[in-house]
Amino acid sequence: MATFRWTFWKVVLAFVLLAGAVATVLRFSEGLGATTNLSDAFPWGLWIGFDVMCGVMLAAGGFTLTATVYIFNLKKFKPIVRPTVLTAFLGYLLVVIALLFDLGRGYRIWHPLVMWNPRSVMFEVAWCVTLYTMVLALEFAPIIFERLRLEKLLRIQRAISIPLVIAGVMLSTLHQSSLGSLYLIVPGKLHPFWYTPLLPLLFFVSAICVGLAMTIFESSMSARHFGKQLEMPLLIRLGRALLVGLIVYSVLRFQDVFDRGALKLITRGGWESGLFLLEIAMGLVAPIVLLIFPKVRESSGGLYISSVLVVLGFVTNRMNVAITGMEASAGVHYFPKWTELAVTASIIGAGFGIFAAAVKYLPIFVAEEAHPASAERREPELAVLSHARL
Amino acid sequence: MSKGILYDATLCIDCKLCERACAEKHGLPYNEAIAAEEKQSAHKLTVVMDKGDKYMRRLCMNCQDPTCASVCPVAALRKTAEGPVTYDASRCIGCRYCMLACPFSVPKYQWNTALPLVQKCDMCADRVAQGLPTACAAACPTGATKFGDRDALIAEAQDRIAKNPEQYVHHIYGLTEVGGTSVLLLSSVPFEEFGYPVHVDNQPLPMLTWHVLSELPQVVTFGAALLGGIWWITSRRQAVAAAEAKSGD
């Protein structure tokens, strides 16, 4: 094995993790008041708005892709199932870690599992996160089993893989949409740009868009850093699906803000209008305009830029719902404290670090199923591919 | 019979005895500095605000169908039959969804402790269960804060407005707001001047999330069946294609 060498990004990561460690000690010894800019007027901040809301959204590639490959049988996409499932699994684990920071009494995080309140969206979210993290662990398990050559466990996993995928898709559908439903209860507090009865639907459709965009993004990133990426025809198809998703979302979104009479509020200007326009321009208008041109849609650079815009645009959307849109009614302006930023940055950094380590030590990027035990039940992939169209 | 509190701001003299009684009842500190605080907080569950010679109390409205109780993932907040909305600290995970969701922004948080809890007025649930009035009502020297049966208090409030129409805003705050609250307010100045939200829905807010949540069992059943069906078709098609490929060899 090569000896350890400091690179620029490793130095950055070390610095971030160090700041995060200090922030962690402060958070758990001093409490939330001393280490966050949260208050009675503004009880949810960066850790919910970014770590939880965006973390779950960015993990959406997991269910989008497992459904594509295992339910719709588009086996061509199989090579990217593993990296996306890994991303989703890490994403959910990190969301749980972020929750432990944000909850006043994180050691009671299991309470919703035994103390029920089925009328609560948060109760549903708690159950979905728990169950879906378990599903993702089981979906990821074969990679570990392969590495350790546990044939029997592999066979068991294969037998339940389809019900597992269906459970994962259903749990994700509920969970992605219910993050939007969380805000249905604050009609008087959330700014009309973002408050709509359609919140659950909008969150679900945008999660699918972001899932596709993240898959393109990850493929490009892994091409750069690990020399492994998807074939162009697959990426182009993902880009086309992303374009369709974005158009569907745009129609829903524009019709909704227009019908509710919220669109004319733009003329009032201000903080909310600016961030609303940024979200629309970055997440919808720019990528749609780019992807409409076949020349852009069929180039790896064009796809990469479009997917980054979509991800950033919808991160802005989630932050707008959780933070920007809640400020006016709260009568305060919220900006996270350094400790909040350090914890969030550390969680992201840890995510990247674990992903890189997993790619290095586990068979994440594999050209095809390299496992000998699977040879006899290898699906006739070529035959079906000629029919497959996304 | 559901109990309630009627606060009539026109009778209030800003003596703050309700604040003191509330602090004593809940084992919270009370002194001049705290008396001067004009905001509800984890150590001040009720507050008398003043604007010139006009006063207004703030306390938990103890809604008939409380938003906080509906959003709490561990059912720490509950509406009792007598009226009070209670908080079970042993269940609370500290997620603060109640604080976000409350249309009156009532629940407050212990920000400066390592293991914080939510704090709010519980309408003296233990006293009410024993048939006693709330501590604030018992302490009020002028009758501005009055405890009783909610229905009787509504009738009395309507009566007061009818007898002195020029003295009151013609609205009982809490009669219909978010489906009604156990705490009812009368005032001579518009309620929004003291920060009370006046554009709140007259329907209980929990319905907003419930009509989505109640659909979920159908979504899951239908969705799982649909996905299973699609899988069956696509895998069947694949098997047929494989068989055809084989016979073609």
| pLDDT (tens digit per residue) in B7-50 | 999 999 999 999 999 999 999 999 999 999 999 999 999 999 99
The Cα of B142 is separated from the nearest Cα of chain A by a number of Å equal to 32
B128, B10 Cβ separation under 8 angstroms: no
- A9 pLDDT tier (thresholds 50, 70, 90): confident
Is residue A130 classed exposed, middle or buried when 0-12, 13-18 and 19+ CB atoms within 10 A define those classes? middle
Residue environment code for B147-166, b if the CB has 16+ CB neighbours within 10 A, otherwise e:
beebeebbebbeebbeeeee
Report the pLDDT value the prediction gives residue A5, as an integer from 0 to 100: 81
| Closest B-chain CA to A188 | B200
Sheet (strand B183-186) strand order: B145-149, B3-8, B183-186
Percent of chain A with pLDDT strictly greater than 70? 91
- For the beta carbon of residue A289, count every other beta carbon within 10 angstroms: 12
- A213 pLDDT tier (thresholds 50, 70, 90): very high
Beta bridge mates, B51: B54
DSSP, collapsed to helix, strand or coil, labels residue A197 as coil
| Closest A-chain CA to B205 | A185
| Closest A-chain CA to B207 | A185
- The predicted model gives A293-306 an average pLDDT of 93
Chain B, 98 to 117: residues with Cβ < 8 Å from chain A are 99-101, 103, 105, 108-117
Residues of B in Cβ contact (< 8 Å) with A170:
219-220, 223-224, 227
Is residue B221 classed exposed, middle or buried when 0-12, 13-18 and 19+ CB atoms within 10 A define those classes? exposed
Long-range Cβ contact pairs of B186-190 (< 8 A, separation 24 or more) = B186/B6, B186/B7, B186/B8, B186/B9, B186/B10, B186/B157, B186/B160, B186/B161, B187/B9, B187/B10, B187/B54, B187/B56, B188/B9, B188/B10, B188/B54, B189/B9, B189/B51, B189/B54, B189/B56
Nearest to A196 by CA among A261, A274, A284: A261
Residues B72, A38: C-beta atoms closer than 8 Å: no
Report the pLDDT value the prediction gives residue B43, as an integer from 0 to 100: 95
| Closest B-chain CA to A196 | B208
Report the pLDDT value the prediction gives residue A263, as an integer from 0 to 100: 87
**Helix/strand/coil (H/E/C) assignment for every residue in B169-214:** CCCCECCCHHHCECEEEECCCCHHHHCCCCCCCCCCCHHHHHHHHC
Task: Tell me the ipTM for this assembly.
Answer: 0.92
Chain A, 22 to 51: residues with Cβ < 8 Å from chain B are 28-34, 38-41, 43-44
- A79 pLDDT tier (thresholds 50, 70, 90): confident
Report the pLDDT value the prediction gives residue A388, as an integer from 0 to 100: 37
Find the range with the poorest average confidence among A43-52, A153-162, A188-197. A153-162
A215, A346 Cβ separation under 8 angstroms: no
Report the pLDDT value the prediction gives residue B232, as an integer from 0 to 100: 94
Report the pLDDT value the prediction gives residue A228, as an integer from 0 to 100: 64
Check residues B185 and A78 and name the one with the higher pLDDT.
B185
Nearest to B6 by CA among B106, B137, B104: B137
How far is Cα A211 from Cα A234, in angstroms, rounded to an integer? 15
DSSP class of residue B78 equals E
Report how far apart, in Å, the C-alpha atoms of A28 and of each of A22, A23, A34, B116 are: 10, 9, 10, 11
Q: For residue A303, is pLDDT > 90?
A: yes
DSSP class of residue B82 equals T
Report the pLDDT value the prediction gives residue A377, as an integer from 0 to 100: 40
Please report the domains of chain A, with CATH numbers, ordered by start residue: 29-367 (1.20.1630.10)
Q: For residue A384, is pLDDT > 60?
A: no
Mean pLDDT by 10 residues, chain B (249 residues): 94 96 96 94 96 95 97 97 97 97 97 96 96 97 97 97 96 97 97 93 94 92 95 92 83
- For the beta carbon of residue A177, count every other beta carbon within 10 angstroms: 23
DSSP class of residue B114 equals S
Q: For residue A373, is pLDDT > 80?
A: no
Nearest 5 degrees, angle CA A343-CA A349-CA A355?
Answer: 140
Report the pLDDT value the prediction gives residue A143, as an integer from 0 to 100: 87
Tokens 């603060």 belong to B96
Report the pLDDT value the prediction gives residue A223, as an integer from 0 to 100: 75
Chain B, 171 to 190: residues with Cβ < 8 Å from chain A are none
Mean pLDDT of the residues in chain A = 89
Name which of B92, B206, B241 is nearest A383 (Cβ-Cβ): B241
Report the pLDDT value the prediction gives residue A83, as an integer from 0 to 100: 85
Report how far apart, in Å, the C-alpha atoms of A184 and of each of A189, A201, B65, B208 are: 10, 12, 16, 6
Q: Does domain B3-202 have CATH number 3.30.70.20?
A: yes
| pLDDT (tens digit per residue) in A323-372 | 999 999 999 999 999 999 999 999 999 998 898 888 888 888 765 443 44
Residues A120, B97: C-beta atoms closer than 8 Å: yes
Interacting residues of A307 by C-beta distance below 8 A, sequence separation 6+: A212, A213, A214, A216, A217, A220, A239, A242, A287
Residues of A in Cβ contact (< 8 Å) with B199:
188
| pLDDT (tens digit per residue) in A229-268 | 667 888 899 999 999 999 999 999 999 999 999 988 888 8
| pLDDT (tens digit per residue) in A130-144 | 999 999 999 999 888
A48, A125 Cβ separation under 8 angstroms: no
